[in-house]
Structure formats: structure tokens, C-alpha cells
Amino acid sequence: MRIHREGFKIILISTALLVGVLYLLTSLNSPAWLLALLGIPLLVLYVLIIRFFRNPERKVDATPHGIVAPCDGKVVVIEEVEEGEYFKDKRIQISIFMSPLNVHVNRNPAGGEVSYFKYHPGKYLVAWHPKSSTENERTTAVIKQEDGKEILFRQIAGAVARRIRWYIKPGDRVAKGDEMGFIKFGSRVDILLPVDAEIKVNLEQDVVAAETLIAVV
């Protein structure tokens, strides 16, 4: 299992703590019940931490003019909205909620040139709150495809997810499905599409980053 680089430090610290606690318990000749009482929950937590930072290989959907899911998770919003930061017109918004059990690597939903990128400090409302898209800590990225169409998407922090990482900047040439960032401990990603986009997903559908086709534009 590949581990994402965002997890290297926390996994190293967790390993040191786990080994240290187990070594202390055994060196003090602690009774078996105490070793099990403390050791088993720590081991379970350690496994969950490693699993959280997993980074599986993905086969990118190659549908012409296709837009792919930028993260793993569940589709919680499909609606027409007024986008006021960049396009300043109506767009179709698709929101994907990432639970702590999902893979948390974020990927480019389209390929092309990064024509806009901005980080916004903000609040930490729960990820499903209607105002989280505009008031929470977030990033906004726009990718201009070869045909000139632009796709906007946002990484949005939540009540628990307070560490957004990104690896793109304006002017970068990016490929569809490549890594663009990471959100630690769950949250959501919004994608803003042209109103005439052909939507390929449904509400409550589980999607997989890079592999699930969410729209054709």
C-alpha cells in the first residue's frame, strides 16, 4: 500500500509513540490485561492513521470532454448556483463529501492550464452546511481546457478538516486525474460546471477520484 507524503510525519510520530508505549509497558512487566487494554486501542488507531493516508493507483477515465471526480466520497449536491468569485454567472455545482474513511488525495477534474488559483482563510462550519462553500477555509482553482472551456473546483475545510494542501499554481499545465492536493480528516470538494454540462452522476452516489466520470462538457 502506497502512503501519501502528507502522512509521512504523522506516521513517523505515531510509530515512535506506539513503540515507546509498548516498550514501557513490557519493560515494567505490566500484566497482560493492562498491555491489552492500552496496546490494542493504540494499535487500532495506528492502523487507522496509516489507512487514512493511503494513496492507491487510479486509472483515469478517458471519456472525450469528460470531467472526473476530484476526490473519493459521496455526491451530496447537484444544483444550479450563482458563482460569484470567478465566472459571476450561473453554474451547475456538484459537491462531493469526503468521510474520514475515504482516500483524501485530491485530483484534477480536467486537464489544461491553471488559469486561476486563490486560497481563502475562513470559518470551519460542518462540510454539509449550505454556507461552507463561501465562508469556510477553502481554495478555488480554475483549469482552462484545450477547447477553452474552464472548470472551477474548490477544496473546502470542515469542522474537523483544518489542513488543506495544494500543489498547483496559476500557469501550471496539469493532466486530468493527477494529484493537486490533500485535505486531512474529511471535508468536501465542489465542482462548478457550465449549465449545459451533461451530468453523469446522481445524488448519494459514491464516486472515486479520477475514475468516476461526473460530467461531459
Nearest residue to 177 via CA among 94, 72, 107: 107
Asked if residue 185 lies in contact with residue 101, where contact means CB atoms within 8 angstroms, the answer is no
pLDDT of residue 132: 57
Written as nine digits, the cell of 97 is 463529501
Assign 145 to helix, strand or coil.
Answer: coil
Q: Considering only residues 32 and 122, tell me which one the structure prediction assigns the higher pLDDT.
A: 32
Q: Does 12 have pLDDT greater than 80? A: yes
pLDDT of residue 38: 84
Work out the widest C-alpha separation in the chain, in whole angstroms: 69
Which amino acid does the sequence have at 98? M
**Strand 73-83, strand 112-120: pairing:** unpaired
Q: How confident is the model at residue 128 (pLDDT cuts 50, 70, 90)?
A: low
Strand ranges (E), the chain: 66-68, 73-83, 89-98, 105-107, 112-120, 138-144, 150-156, 164-166, 173-174, 179-183, 187-193, 198-199, 206-207, 213-216
pLDDT 10s digits, 69-123: 999 999 999 999 999 999 999 999 999 999 888 998 999 999 999 999 999 987 6
User: What angle do helix axes 8-27 and 32-52 make, rounded to 10 degrees?
Assistant: 170
* C-alpha 213, offset from chain centre: 16
Overall residue count recorded for the chain in this entry: 217
Using the structure block, give the residue that is written with the C-alpha cell 471519456.
63
Rounded Cα–Cα distance for residues 153 and 119 (Å): 12
Q: How confident is the model at residue 173 (pLDDT cuts 50, 70, 90)?
A: very high
pLDDT of residue 159: 61
Asked if residue 200 lies in contact with residue 69, where contact means CB atoms within 8 angstroms, the answer is no
Residues belonging to the active site: 187
Which amino acid does the sequence have at 57? E
Asked if residue 66 lies in contact with residue 216, where contact means CB atoms within 8 angstroms, the answer is yes
Q: Of 47-51, 69-73, 148-152, 195-199, which gets the smallest average pLDDT? A: 47-51
Q: How confident is the model at residue 124 (pLDDT cuts 50, 70, 90)?
A: low
Asked if residue 154 lies in contact with residue 189, where contact means CB atoms within 8 angstroms, the answer is yes
pLDDT of residue 160: 60
Written as nine digits, the cell of 203 is 445524488
Q: Does domain 66-216 have CATH number 3.40.50?
A: no
- Rounded to two decimals, the pTM is 0.86
Q: Does 133 have pLDDT greater than 80? A: no
Q: How confident is the model at residue 174 (pLDDT cuts 50, 70, 90)?
A: very high
- Mean of per-residue pLDDT scores for the chain: 90
pLDDT 10s digits, 135-145: 678 999 999 99
Rounded Cα–Cα distance for residues 58 and 61 (Å): 9
Q: How confident is the model at residue 162 (pLDDT cuts 50, 70, 90)?
A: low
Domain assignments of the chain as residue spans, ordered by start = 5-52, 66-216
